Structure 1
Amino acid sequence: MNIFSERLKIALSEKNMKASELSELTGISKSSISDWINGRYEAKQDKIFLIAKALKINEGYLLGLDVPMTEVENTPNSHPYIEETIKAIKQLTLYQQEQLLKLTRYNLDDISLEILEILSNTDENFKKDMLVYTKFKYLEYEKLEEEKNADSRNTAG
């Protein structure tokens, strides 16, 4: 059994939620959720994002990282460097934020770790946690972009 399957079972149990309820909240088919719970397959990143958001847990927990199963809202403030990084990014102009996002889009893992190295000399666990957070925010951004594009196609047609 894979770690994703185990942690998904634990999260559902702790949140007193059935797979069918998770399916309704996320729009993911019941059969896919059943396959993941039974360890037949492992969910892709975008589905893990939806599941974590619906369960209000840390996406990194589902990914198998050594992090607590905390609510998503608490995740950004779990380490002071994350809060400082977010504040610094918010001070950038919209254009600068878009350029940073484009830069990370090309090679998210390597560039994110390089950015973290520049920002601070922290331990490896923090770097991994920040990488998960960066991926999480990137998927959130992609989802918003998809919705924006779909809206503009609907209004144009």
Structure 2
Amino acid sequence: MSIFAERLETAMQHAQMTSAQLAKATGIGRSSISQWLSSKYVAKHDKVVTLATALKVEPEWLLGAKSSVTATEPVSSVDPELVTIWEQLDAAGRKKLLKKAHRLVEKDKAPTGKKKGKKKKKAKA
């Protein structure tokens, strides 16, 4: 059994999660998790981050780069899908995503009231 498979299994046991529960929590297919647990494959980096977040362990530990088990602090319940998207973006894409996120936050903070809309132009007869 590979170190990744061993640590994935250990983390799942510690979190008291089955492969079905882990699949549901991460959006990763049960077949992929099964293949990783049987050492058939090792997960790609974005999936390791998603797994580690769901299992509350460090990705480096899951991959075998760290020897001690250190639980991660809750990442303010960041959606694993968002982490996966972030990992796939280049620097310019990340900058755009952050800009959009800031706009959404500001929009949510804005007082509710009448929103200014564009006035419709009267059609000429």
Under a length normalisation based on structure 1, what TM-score does the superposition of the two structures give?
A: 0.48
CA-based RMSD of the aligned residues comes to 3.2
Contact 1:60-1:67 within 8 A present in 2 as well: no
Note the residue ranges of structure 1 that are not aligned, 5 or more in a row. 75-137, 152-157
The answer to whether residue 36 in structure 2 is matched with residue 39 in structure 1 is no
Q: Cα–Cα, structure 1 residues 69 and 140, in superposed 2: closer, same or farther, change >3 Å? A: farther
Aligned positions, number: 88
Counterpart mapping for 1:26-105 below 5 A: 26-73=26-73
Contact 1:2-1:39 within 8 A present in 2 as well: yes
Equivalent position of 1:114 in the other structure: none
Amino acid in structure 2 at the alignment position of 1:142: E
Of structures 1 and 2, the larger Rg is shown by 2
Residue-by-residue CA offset, 1:97-150 (whole Å, 9 max, x unaligned): xxxxxxxxxxxxxxxxxxxxxxxxxxxxxxxxxxxxxxxxx97853673x939x
Amino acid in structure 2 at the alignment position of 1:3: I
For the residue of structure 2 that corresponds to 1:41, the secondary structure is coil
Distance 2:22 2:4 in 1: 15
Contact 1:19-1:30 within 8 A present in 2 as well: yes
Larger RCO: Structure 1 or Structure 2 (Cα < 8 Å, ≥ 6 residues apart)? Answer: 2
Distance 1:139 1:38 in 2: 24
Note the residue ranges of structure 2 that are not aligned, 5 or more in a row. 75-82, 101-125
Under a length normalisation based on structure 2, what TM-score does the superposition of the two structures give?
A: 0.59
Distance 1:15 1:39 in 2: 20
